[in-house]
Amino acid sequence: MKPILKVQNLSKDFIKSLDLVAKGLNRIGQNYKEEVVHAVDDVNFSIFKGEIVGVVGESGCGKSTLGRMVAGILSPSTGSVEFDSSQANNKEIPSALRTQMIFQDPFSSLNPRKRVVDIITEAPIYHKLIPPSEKRAFATEMLQRVGLDPDTLERYPHQFSGGQRQRVGIARALAVSPEFLVCDESIAALDVSIQAQIINLFVDLKDKFDLTYLFISHDIGVIEHISDRVIVMYLGRIVETAPIETFVKQPNHPYTQALLTGVPRLEVGKRQYEPISGEIPSPLSPPTGCHFHPRCNFATARCKAEKPALRKIAPAHFSACHLNDEA
Amino acid sequence: MEPILKINNLQTHFFTKAGILKAVDGVSFEIAAGEIVGLVGESGSGKSITGFSVMGLVDPPGKIIDGNINFKGKDLSALSNDQMQNIRGNRIAMIFQDPMMTLNPVLRIETQMIEAIQAHDGSISREDARIRSRDTLGLVGISSPDERLRAYPHQFSGGMRQRVSIAIAMLNRPDLIIADEPTTALDVTIQGQVISEMQKLCRETQTALLWITHDLAVVAGIADRVCVMYAGRIVEQGLVADIIANPMHPYTQGLMGSVPSQNQRGKPLQQIDGMVPSMLNLPVGCAFQNRCNYANEKCSNIQPDITQVADGRQVRCFNIPVGQRL
Ligand SMILES: Nc1ncnc2c1ncn2[C@@H]1O[C@H](COP(=O)(O)OP(=O)(O)OP(=O)(O)O)[C@@H](O)[C@H]1O
Ligand SMILES: Nc1ncnc2c1ncn2[C@@H]1O[C@H](COP(=O)(O)OP(=O)(O)O)[C@@H](O)[C@H]1O
Ligand code: SF4
Ligand code: SF4
Ligand SMILES: [Mg+2]
Ligand SMILES: [Mg+2]
């Protein structure tokens, strides 16, 4: 089977330019250099049609940067993101619309001066997917798809609750018949009882419209519930990718293991927390070799010196850890 | 044993232009020495205002209009500002979601910690205060604390800053710590570190801890008892283990069913339909009626009282679903 999305050697560097103080000091003979963040560092993976692939990792590890490149709204420094058009459900849709992104804060991504009916129909009318005369009927249908009352057609974004606004954002994305949704912390800002509503909606839509997802979340419970496969990132690199059952039951990478032990779980109840030590290092000066070595209980001299490659350790299971060489 | 904190029928209201907002409406609970109590609920349910009320930090248009807050036998709501000031940061400390609420960005950590000690103990020498500060930083897992004392807050990561603010809360060995979403902004591995330090502290020094959060799973992992809040009121309280095994209030049940995890894979999450009603415009009767599958006519006419259903277990509902009843 061919993947619908293929990401190869994808990297993004951000240059943190000098602030005024540093520039001033350089003028009097200091030598401050511009710093480079490897936000995403040579990442490779594939996604198959109909999959929900979760991305987890701690703050600053590059999840959003990766998501934005996959959605085509940020250009990579190097590498490529390829979409296999032959597998598209709807071949007439312009390729630029095939991937849509759904953000954490629906408020900042919706134009506050536009009514919902216009927010939803703007792109499809512009791209001539629907005639302007069908605007209201079309918007009504989209609102119903995401579980909103069509009475809300004439409202502005601020007249909705957080959960409803997220539904408007999803309706807008669905309006261009996308194949692929990149969800970046799309439920993080919502109340617990509303999160469940939106998670259920994402799953329903996937089944109804044959969608494929890249689902970014720092919440491992959410990832475990929704994903078929998981990508674990640490400081710009993928350290492990695994089918969900393997991720939960037999995580291979020491970082994934640490992450999973830290997750609070209802069913476990009261327990003694045994934390992994150390801070998340600065992405500006990541540790040498394996980025995780200063916090890893199994680190050896080799881990400090040599970057472990992401290698296949079982079908569909990849991990980047030197320990796998010894076995 | 006498509880350290005993809150009875606390009423904290905001007198806004749009009307009276009952942010805390008749809240009662207790915390014993060394005990960890979780206060859970979604945003706007009144968790923080409950904590602020205990700290004497409610500002106008907010006001405590009724109830009492008994701390080691004293009614805090009757104390003057000066008396309250003396208890704050000394016998009761608060940890905020944003550690910069506690930390001063322009002062070295050392200066802030020494001042916090000397403010409540005029006789301690600067050097002794410094040593205690250093040891407390070590206690919350900050490595090379001697060096770190010289640093400014911005030189620390978010997780380290939160640990410094916890260290400051611990400095004077308070009897009670109120922690308001202390780990919500932290990554999982760092959250684990912070929780582990707090557990150790309560165990070793018998500090009572009120842990405020929207995350039921975190409370399940750390607390002995839990109070679930909805729209300004406690709707259920009891031992964490009991509530997780057998949630009785329809809201608690809904909350638990909506926590995603691998156990629920392939099934839709149980969702609580609808939204939290506006706090300015609560319905007559039960505040949860518009989202409740068990609501009947009585629920829309009469407000349910919180009632004892078993030893240490209280629920505010007329129709505890059959099967959940004890
Ligand atoms: N426009 C930018 N300019 C400079 N650096 C950036 C920019 N965008 C991201 N970065 C840096 O790239 C790294 C990855 O950032 P990214 O936003 O992808 O992280 P993330 O995993 O999404 O984190 P979070 O969980 O906090 O959302 C970080 O070190 C970040 O500071
Ligand atoms: N300064 C204020 N003025 C008016 N209303 C307030 C103020 N602070 C809080 N509230 C209201 O009180 C209620 C409870 O707030 P809060 O305790 O902060 O909720 P939580 O901490 O549970 O999210 C909310 O409805 C909130 O809008
Ligand atoms: S490569 Fe070494 S440091 Fe990195 S995770 Fe594996 S054992 Fe730990
Ligand atoms: S009192 Fe009525 S509306 Fe309220 S929770 Fe119980 S059954 Fe539901
Ligand atoms: Mg992000
Ligand atoms: Mg709060």
**CATH code of residue A102:** 3.40.50.300
pLDDT > 80? residue A144: yes
Q: What CA–CA distance (Å, rounded) separates B180 from B187?
A: 16
Lowest-confidence region among A112-126, A196-210, B132-146, B212-226: B132-146
Residue pLDDT, tens place only, A168-187: 999 999 999 999 999 999 98
Helix or strand run (H / E) with residue B161: helix B158-170
Residues A130 and A182 in one domain: yes
pLDDT > 90? residue B42: no
- Give DSSP secondary structure letters for A140-180: HHHHHHTT--GGGGG--GGGS-HHHHHHHHHHHHHTT--SE
Residues A199 and A98 in one domain: yes
Read off φ and ψ for residue B190, nearest 5 degrees.
-75, -40
Output the six-digit token pair for B216.
């039921």
Q: What CA–CA distance (Å, rounded) separates B143 from B152?
A: 15
**B266 in contact with chain A, both atoms CB, cutoff 8 A:** no
pLDDT > 70? residue B36: yes
Determine, for residues A225 and B261 on separate chains, whether the beta-carbon distance falls below 8 Å. Answer: yes
pLDDT band at B325 (very low <50, low <70, confident <90, very high): low
pLDDT for B2: 82
Q: Whose CA is nearest to atom 5 of ligand 1?
A: A14
Residues A100 and A154 in one domain: yes
Residues A312 and A244 in one domain: yes
Average pLDDT over residues B6-12: 97
pLDDT for B189: 82
| Residue A268, domain member (yes or no) | no
Residues A68 and A174 in one domain: no
pLDDT for B20: 94
**A161 in contact with chain B, both atoms CB, cutoff 8 A:** yes
Residues A79 and A98 in one domain: no
Cis peptide before A132 (omega within 30 of 0): no
Output the six-digit token pair for A27.
């003028």
Q: DSSP letter at B137?
A: H
- To the nearest whole Å, the CA of B235 is away from the closest chain A CA by 16
Residues A189 and A106 in one domain: yes
Read off φ and ψ for residue B99, nearest 5 degrees.
-60, -20
Report the DSSP beta bridge partners of residue B314: B237, B308
pLDDT for B264: 75
Q: Name the more confident of A32 and A319.
A: A319
User: In this structure, which topology does domain B5-91+210-315 adopt according to CATH?
Assistant: Rossmann fold (3.40.50)
List the single residue in A248, A280, A282 with the smallest CB-CB distance to B262.
Answer: A248
pLDDT mean across residues, chain A: 90
pLDDT > 60? residue A327: no
| Residue A186, domain member (yes or no) | yes
Coil, strand or helix at B33: coil
pLDDT band at B126 (very low <50, low <70, confident <90, very high): very high
pLDDT > 70? residue B323: no
Ligand 2 centroid from CA B18, angstroms: 14
The per-residue b/e assignment along B84-95, b for 16 or more CB within 10 angstroms, e otherwise, is beebbbbbbbbb
Residue pLDDT, tens place only, B111-122: 999 999 999 898
| Residue A40, domain member (yes or no) | yes
Q: Whose CA is nearest to atom 1 of ligand 1?
A: A14
ipTM of the complex: 0.83
Q: Which residues contact B258 (CB under 8 A, 6 or more apart)?
A: A192, A193, A195, A196, B269, B270, B271, B272
State the residue range of the domain holding A281.
1-25+33-51+61-86+218-263+275-327
Place of tokens 């904590």: B51
**Are B288 and B230 contacting, i.e. CB atoms less than 8 angstroms apart?**
yes
Ligand 2 centroid from CA B42, angstroms: 11
Task: Taking each helix axis as running N to C, give the angle between helix A135-145 and helix A116-126, from 0 to 180 degrees, rounded to the nearest 10.
Answer: 110
